[in-house]
Amino acid sequence: MTDKYDKPLNIDRYAVLGNPIAHSKSPQIHAAFAKQTGQPINYEAILAPIDGFAASIKNLIAQGYKGANVTVPFKFEAFNLCDELTERATSAGAVNTLSFNQNKIIGDNTDGVGLARDLTLNYSYALKGARILLLGAGGAAQGVMLPLINAEPASITIANRNLEKAQFMIQKIAAQHAVCNLAVSNYENLQSKFDVIINATSIGLSDTILPISNTIFAKNCLAYDMMYGRETPFMAKARSTGAQVADGLGMLVEQAAEAFYVWRGVRPETAPVIKMMSTY
Ligand code: ATR
């Protein structure tokens, strides 16, 4: 990359670490952001050994990298590695964005704000006053709780196979934040209608169908699956009820844009990048 006088610019290096990592779309997304904003960065995907995440991060710092994204299965390990955490990382209990700043590792989590932005900006869905149902109580669900609460919905119900996990999740968030109406349920007992239903379970990867009733999708319901790349059984079910259906590609691009903003102080436009990525 050069400046307007064709002098080479200092290029700051970033990476995404995961295992596996070959499928990651993050390098393409960040390359598009860099091109669009003129920011001199290089971003690559790095396979970290399952037992070698901390060593991989130390190695990046020694090489002068400025930051990194973290994906499965290292988000919790990244959380424990940080010297400082943002509020949204603390609330999520996981870290997906690291900044390396004068020998300090600062951990952030941009997943939740990525989802909230996708829902409100790209799908123009007002979360304020909405009845939200979150399916799942694992790391992905916990990661999005704070931004959902901050959007001031009427209620958030968490449904999970393991009810104790869902209960633990709402107790934890209620202890830290002023919250809206919170409830837990198993899938079979869900009866009332919801305006937004978000699938944060990991079952999109399989063909398992969650035992939820077709009657819980309110009129004009938005059914959102955090997975992307293929129609999941949840999306198919939601579509059959007439719900508007969305996959997690927008969330992926929005969480990347937020990380880019954390690192560079510049907010890239996401719409053209979502469009570009949806053709891959
Ligand atoms: P992640 O970090 O992706 O959220 P996780 O923490 O392992 O991964 O959580 C996976 C989520 O998917 C959990 O809510 C899990 O439900 P349980 O807590 O009851 O285990 C849910 N899940 C995974 N497989 C499932 C299945 N076959 N049926 C129902 N829920 C499932």
- pLDDT (tens digit per residue) in 74-95: 999 999 999 999 999 999 999 9
Task: Give residue 82 CA to ligand 1 midpoint distance, Å.
Answer: 26
What value does the mean pLDDT take over residues 238-256? 97
Domain boundary among 81, 109, 137: 109
Q: pLDDT band at 259, cuts 50/70/90?
A: very high
125 found inside a domain: yes
Report the relative pairing of strands 181-185 and 155-159 from DSSP bridges. Answer: parallel
Q: Is the pLDDT of residue 279 over 80?
A: no
Q: What whole-number percentage of the chain has pLDDT above 70?
A: 96
- CA 79 to chain CA mean position, Å: 15
Domain for residue 6, yes or no?
Answer: no
Structure tokens at 237: 């079910």
Predicted confidence (pLDDT) at residue 280 exceeds the cutoff of 80: no
Least confident of 1-10, 110-119, 201-210: 1-10
Closest CA to 180 of 138, 217, 148: 148
Chosen domain end from 48, 78, 109? 109
Q: How far apart are CA 212 and CA 204, in angstroms?
A: 14
- Average pLDDT in the chain: 94
Distance 210 CA to ligand 1 centre (A): 11
**pLDDT over 70 at 228, yes or no:** yes
Q: Which of 69, 212, 84 is nearest to 136 (CA)?
A: 212
Strands, E, within the chain: which ranges?
Answer: 12-18, 41-47, 67-70, 84-85, 97-101, 104-108, 131-135, 155-159, 181-185, 194-199, 217-225, 244-246
* Residue 124 shares a structural domain with residue 96: no
pTM: 0.93
CATH of the domain at 177: 3.40.50.720
Domain count, the chain: 2
Q: Are 219 and 243 in contact (CB under 8 A)?
A: no
> Ligand 1, atom 8: nearest CA belongs to which residue?
138
H-helix segments, 151-231: 163-176
* Cis ω before 20 (30° cut-off from 0): yes
- Nearest Cα residue to atom 11 of ligand 1: 201
Residue indicated by tokens 């499965």: 72
- Our answer on whether the CB atom of 138 is closer than 6 Å to any ligand 1 atom is yes
b (16+ CB within 10 A) / e for 235-259: bebbeebebebbbbbbbbbbbbbbb
Show the tokens assigned to 41: 């960065």
> By alpha-carbon position, which residue is closest to atom 14 of ligand 1?
136
Is 184 within the bounds of a domain? yes
| Domain region containing 175 | 112-250
Ramachandran angles phi, psi of 260, nearest 5°:
-60, -40
Q: What is the DSSP annotation of 96-141?
A: SEEEEETTEEEEE--HHHHHHHIIIIIS----TT-EEEEE--SHHH
Predicted local confidence at residue 275, as pLDDT: 96
Q: Which atom, in ligand 1's list, is nearest to the CA of 162?
A: 19
**Ligand 1 centroid, distance to 201 Cα (angstroms):** 5
pLDDT recorded at residue 6: 57
Residue 263 lies in a domain: no
Assigned domain for 279 exists: no
CATH of the domain at 76: 3.40.50.10860
pLDDT of the residue at 8: 52
Q: Is 208 in the pocket of ligand 1 (CB under 6 A)?
A: yes
Nearest alpha carbon to residue 110 among 84, 141, 132, 89: 89
